[in-house]
Amino acid sequence: MAQGKRPKIQRTTEIAAPVEKVFAYYANMENQVEIWPSLVEVRDMQYDEQGCPTTYEWTYKMAGMRFDGTGRITEYEPNRRFAGESKGGIDSYIQVTFEGRGATTLVHEEVEYEIPNTLLGRFAEPFLMRINENELETIHRNLKARMEAEQ
């Protein structure tokens, strides 16, 4: 990986559910454990006076290793977008936008992350990038199944 350059992955999924429902579910970090295979735990969620999430702690498993860290919501616009950054074992920046289209919602997610030095060998980088791309695809597939099953 070139110095200063972080891998970036993205996924867009159309979900047959209203934007209010999809946003409320996906923007609640505690729900992420249900749809994100490698996310082991989200705990200690903190909220501001308007009820918007602000910070949380997490445990994640990548390539058989466990990582702990903290997350901070940096942008939160109900039914439109949220973004956050994580620090700790894996540093990342996630930005998710939601576009309501009547009875459907278009979810677009971009993730930038740093591969932990404990996992990084030059030979491992392409493998870990592929794992993370598959992980994001699985998250979106699970979100879609969860939201559409509850219609």
Asked whether residue 2 carries a pLDDT value surpassing 50, the answer given is no
**Mean pLDDT of the region 135-149:** 96
What is the share, in percent, of the chain residues with pLDDT greater than 70? Answer: 89
What is the DSSP pairing of strand 81-88 with strand 65-77?
Answer: antiparallel
Put the strands of the sheet holding 92-101 in their side by side order: 8-15, 104-113, 92-101, 81-88, 65-77, 53-62, 39-47
Asked whether residue 122 carries a pLDDT value surpassing 60, the answer given is no
Q: Report pLDDT digits (tens) over 25-50.
A: 999 888 999 999 999 999 999 998 88
Query: CA 88, 89, 92 angle in degrees (round to 5)?
Result: 70
Task: Evaluate whether 2 touches 128 at the Cβ level (below 8 Å).
Answer: no
- Dist. CA 111–CA 91, nearest whole Å: 11
Q: Report pLDDT digits (tens) over 60-101.
A: 987 778 889 999 999 999 999 999 999 987 789 999 999 999
- Dist. CA 148–CA 139, nearest whole Å: 14
